[in-house]
Amino acid sequence: MIHALLSAWDWLLSLTGANFEGGRVYGFWSGFAGSNIAMLGGIWLYLRHSNCIKQRCWRVGRHKTAAGHPVCKHHNPELRGRSGLSGDEIDAAHEAAKARK
Ligand SMILES: [Zn+2]
């Protein structure tokens, strides 16, 4: 009876790949941790690519300067220290963009 249980346990371990020598550590790194590290690396690359161009600024660069640099709201020369554009400024920018077309 005990022998049958042990062999069933061995069979289960062999299915999960955990009974290889050092298998638990290897399984951990190749499975769970490996994919998480790859995912974190992807997130890091995305943030690095999309964040504000100002040195050591960690914010997402959602605004473009006139020169085309992606910057955050705090480092955009036209939005600095403000919560956004006024209605008149939005209207003026809209009309100016239409005139350029
Ligand atoms: Zn910034």
What pLDDT is recorded for position 101? 77
Name the amino acid, one letter, at 4. A
Distance in Å, CA 87 to ligand 1 centroid: 24
**Residue range 55-95, pLDDT digits in tens:** 888 888 888 888 888 888 888 888 776 777 778 888 988 99
Distance CA(23)–CA(19), nearest Å, equals 6
**Residue 99 clears pLDDT 90, i.e. is over it:** yes
Distance CA(96)–CA(90), nearest Å, equals 10
Domain ranges of the chain: 1-50, 52-101
Token readout for 73 is 């709201």
Distance in Å, CA 75 to ligand 1 centroid: 5
- pTM of the prediction? 0.40
Distance in Å, CA 44 to ligand 1 centroid: 17
Distance CA(19)–CA(30), nearest Å, equals 15
**Residue 17 clears pLDDT 60, i.e. is over it:** no
What pLDDT is recorded for position 62? 87
Task: Tell me the residues surrounding ligand 1 (ion) with CB < 5 Å.
Answer: 52, 54, 57, 59, 72, 75
Distance in Å, CA 90 to ligand 1 centroid: 22
